Structure 1
Amino acid sequence: MLNRLSRPAVRLVERYLPDAYVLVLLLSLVAAIAAMTVERQAPLAVLRMWGGGFWALLGFSMQMLLVLVTGFMLASTPPVKALLARLAALARTPGMAIVLVSLVSLTASWVNWGFGLVVGALFARELAGQVRVDYRLLVASAYSGFVVWHGGLAGSIPLTIATEGHFLVDAMGVVPTSRTIFAGYNLAILAALFVLVPLVNRWMLPSDNEAVVRRPAPEPAAPMASCAPQPADRLEDSRLLAALVGLAGIGFLVDHFLGGGGLNLNIVNFAFLMLAIVLHGTPRRLLASLAQAIRGGAGIVIQFPFYAGIMAIMVESGLAATLSQAFVAIADADTLPFWSFIAGGVLNVFVPSGGGQWAVQAPIMVPAAEALGADVAKVAMGVAWGDAWTNLIQPFWALPALALAGLKARDIMGFCLIQLLVTGVVIGAALLWL
């Protein structure tokens, strides 16, 4: 049944979903028009919001570009390629490949969202080289595991409210992760998704005559030094230089974790880079891998500033607050976590940032939870799951994975649309009744 349902969804998306860059331009216009019509903002004021916020994500854009680049460089090292090949060999059929990549992506995303985005896409590439399977669904399956990230160990909202001195500590106190990430309802959602996401992906598998099979392009041969190496060539081929710097970086990581430090995007990127330096063996090999990796980063570089502009319009015009208040108005103590989930999902299309969403929605949702007598921790997790949920149809987060896979958003979003419907029912039901 899901295979039959996915066919029209895939055709619809392939026909009407434009390139991710065109989509962000359209979202910019929609946000600007809504700010002028709903919030009665003057056109010049909206223009200033947009332009003033345009470069607000420069640091984050660089982090995301490094997720792509360092992940690719690590995956292209001989030891990691061999490990991925051995894992991929476990998948003997297309169905097994889909289930395996889904489980790997879910697990990696639960540990850390940046890690999950890269690992899932790279594993999909490796599987595509060994199993004849629909490449679009394979990459969609890798990306679909990302849906669990905000309920996992790196969830930005539950970790924020568990931190002493967070910006709403006077209103809600410090909320331990035992009431959010490790709460019974959240663990139930995760358990259900770890079962359903792989199964739904497997059930959408096209028949052999409908499958779009694509083999990853072969990697170029490793660069060789010139026959008569100069001193500069010897430095570029120096294993000692690479080992000294890479092992120093690994030493820093060991000290970081032994000192109680956790995983975040900077640590993930640092770890990927230092391991790549060590495992490539020489600077020359690392730079050759970098040259390959950087080609896929154009979407991140050009699109993230536009999303920063959209976020500025949504927040500064009051649109984000208006959306949240509309859902709060129809909620009671039992349903507020569910409506915070829906509000978070809608807002995420325009403000694809978990921390950014919480900054907008928390001043509305937390007082509402207090007034209605709702569980404030569960309301916060409703916002978190809403943010994670609609990432399935928001190309913002898919850009690194798509770049690694060599696909466009329209290639995978039809399958992700089906996952959106299934996971939405599961998460929403759990927030209402558990």
Structure 2
Amino acid sequence: MLKFLSRPAVKLVERYLPDPYIFVLLLTLVAAVAAIAVERQTPLEVLRFWGDGFWNLLTFSMQMLLVLITGFMLANTPPVKRALSGLASKAKNAGGAIVLVTVVSLVASWINWGFGLVVGALFAKELARQVRVDYRLLVASAYSGFLIWHAGLAGSIPLTIATEGHFTVEQIGVIPTSETIFSWFNLAIVGVLLISVPLVNRLMLPSEDESVYVDPALLEEDQETRVRITRPAERLENSRALAWLVGIPGLLFLLDHFVLRGGGLNLNVINFLFLFLAIVLHQTPRRLLASLQEAIKGGAGIVIQFPFYAGIMAIMVQSGLAQTLSEAFVSFASAETLPFWSFISAGVVNLFVPSGGGQWAVQAPVMLPAAAALGADVPRIAMAVAWGDAWTNLLQPFWALPVLAIAGLKAKDIMGYCLIQLFISGAIIALGLTFL
């Protein structure tokens, strides 16, 4: 039945889903018109919100670009390529490849969302080199693992409210991760999704005559050619000692960060780890730079689109539109149903504000007073917003950009399969938040 349902979903998305750049332009217009019509903002005020906020994600944009580039460079090192190839060899057929890439992506995304995005996409490419499998579904399966990131170790909302001095500490205090990430209801939802997401992806596998395959030769990187060294500068470019004199201290810094100072994972640490592992494992600066040239080709979408999302977020937040959306959903909720409506409202807001931390800043002032008034469980409400933020990423191409860049596909190629996962995973998460 899922195979039958996925056919019209894939065809619908392929026909009507525009390129992510067109999608962000349309979202910009929708947010602007809604702010004028619903919030009674003047066109000049909306224009100022948009323009003033347009560059607010520059740091994050650079971080995301580095997730793509450093992850690609690391995966392009000989040891990592051998490891990915060895793991990919465990898949003996198309169905096994779909399940394996989904499980790897789910586990990696639960550890860290940036890590999961890059590892999932690169592993999908390696599987496609070894197994004859529908490439669209393979990459969609890799991306679907991203669904559980906000319930994992790098979830921005549960980590925020577990931090001393967070912006809502006077309302709810400090809530430990034992009540959010490691709570019974959250781990149960994660456990069910670890089973259901790979199963759903496997059941959507099209027949051979309907599948779209990729020539494995197109996925192969250019083989390194031996260079004859004739200049002193070329000796530096091919110097292992130079690479290791810089790369090894970088790894020692991370050892100090984790072991001696008890630091945790965040996006900067992940990028630092990927970069310095790549420096060491590529062995020479020349090999690293060659990998960099290949990696950077896929970053154009991130560079041009993220500023537009920053502008949309500014319109949504400063006009009051995001708060109005949240209030509309919770206005008819009870203590029992508030987690469900928090989840749904977060999913809708996420289409316009695709940032977990930014979304909590918008929705916390609405959700927390509602939870207090209704006597609802605050950690559950926080996780409902976190799950809603992660859930509609299956529909929002913002986070798929690094995956698509690595895989060489377009959003319309994978979003039909993600749409089926959206409905099934949404039902599972909603039931878990409401009844567990």
Question: TM-score, normalised on structure 2?
Answer: 0.99
Match 2:279 to one of 271, 277, 280: 277
2-side partners of 1:249 and 1:199: how far apart? 40
The count of residues paired between Structure 1 and Structure 2 equals 433
Residue number in structure 2 paired with 1:186: 186
Residue number in structure 1 paired with 2:231: 230
Residue number in structure 1 paired with 2:241: 240
The alignment status of 1:171 with 2:171, answered yes or no, reads: yes
Q: How does 1:173-322 map to 2 (within 5 A)?
A: 173-214=173-214, 215=216, 216-225=218-227, 227-258=228-259, 259-322=261-324
Residue number in structure 1 paired with 2:374: 372
Q: What is the Cα deviation at residue 228 of structure 1?
A: 4.7
What whole-Å deviation, never above 9, does each CA across 1:175-228 have from its counterpart, x for those lacking one? 111110011110110000000000000000000111101134321121433x35
Q: Is the 8 A contact 1:111 1:153 kept in 2?
A: yes
What whole-Å deviation, never above 9, does each CA across 1:17-61 have from its counterpart, x for those lacking one? 000000000000000000000001100110000000000000000
State the SS of the aligned residue for 1:396. coil
Q: Is the 8 A contact 2:9 2:417 kept in 1?
A: yes
Residue number in structure 2 paired with 1:356: 358
Q: What is the Cα deviation at residue 328 of structure 1?
A: 1.1
Letter in 1 for 2:121: A
What whole-Å deviation, never above 9, does each CA across 1:260-295 have from its counterpart, x for those lacking one? 111111111110110111111100000000000000
Q: Is the 8 A contact 1:223 1:285 kept in 2?
A: no
2-side partners of 1:245 and 1:212: how far apart? 44
2-side partners of 1:374 and 1:228: how far apart? 70
The alignment status of 1:422 with 2:416, answered yes or no, reads: no
2-side partners of 1:217 and 1:161: how far apart? 43
1-side partners of 2:84 and 2:411: how far apart? 25
2-side partners of 1:105 and 1:304: how far apart? 23
2-side partners of 1:34 and 1:212: how far apart? 39
2-side partners of 1:336 and 1:178: how far apart? 21
1-side partners of 2:82 and 2:70: how far apart? 18
Residue number in structure 2 paired with 1:85: 85
Letter in 2 for 1:56: N
Question: TM-score, normalised on structure 1?
Answer: 0.99
Residue number in structure 2 paired with 1:27: 27
Residue number in structure 2 paired with 1:38: 38
What whole-Å deviation, never above 9, does each CA across 1:104-147 have from its counterpart, x for those lacking one? 00000000000000000000000000000000000000000000
1-side partners of 2:219 and 2:154: how far apart? 33
2-side partners of 1:352 and 1:393: how far apart? 11
Letter in 2 for 1:254: L
Q: Is the 8 A contact 2:110 2:153 kept in 1?
A: yes
What whole-Å deviation, never above 9, does each CA across 1:144-195 have from its counterpart, x for those lacking one? 0000000011100000000110000000111111110011110110000000
Note the residue ranges of structure 1 that are not aligned, 5 or more in a row. Answer: none
1-side partners of 2:225 and 2:289: how far apart? 10
Letter in 2 for 1:45: E
2-side partners of 1:352 and 1:217: how far apart? 30
Q: What is the Cα deviation at residue 376 of structure 1?
A: 0.7
Q: What is the Cα deviation at residue 432 of structure 1?
A: 1.0
1-side partners of 2:361 and 2:416: how far apart? 31
Q: What is the Cα deviation at residue 411 of structure 1?
A: 0.4
Q: 1:192 to 1:228 in 2, by over 3 A?
A: closer
2-side partners of 1:32 and 1:190: how far apart? 36
2-side partners of 1:179 and 1:61: how far apart? 31
The alignment status of 1:54 with 2:32, answered yes or no, reads: no
- Percent identity (aligned): 71
Residue number in structure 1 paired with 2:162: 162
Letter in 2 for 1:18: P
Moved over 6 A (4+): none
2-side partners of 1:29 and 1:197: how far apart? 34
2-side partners of 1:228 and 1:252: how far apart? 33
2-side partners of 1:334 and 1:217: how far apart? 50
2-side partners of 1:54 and 1:407: how far apart? 27
Letter in 2 for 1:357: Q
What whole-Å deviation, never above 9, does each CA across 1:219-267 have from its counterpart, x for those lacking one? 1121433x35211000000000001111111101111110211111111
Aligned CA RMSD, in angstroms, stands at: 0.7
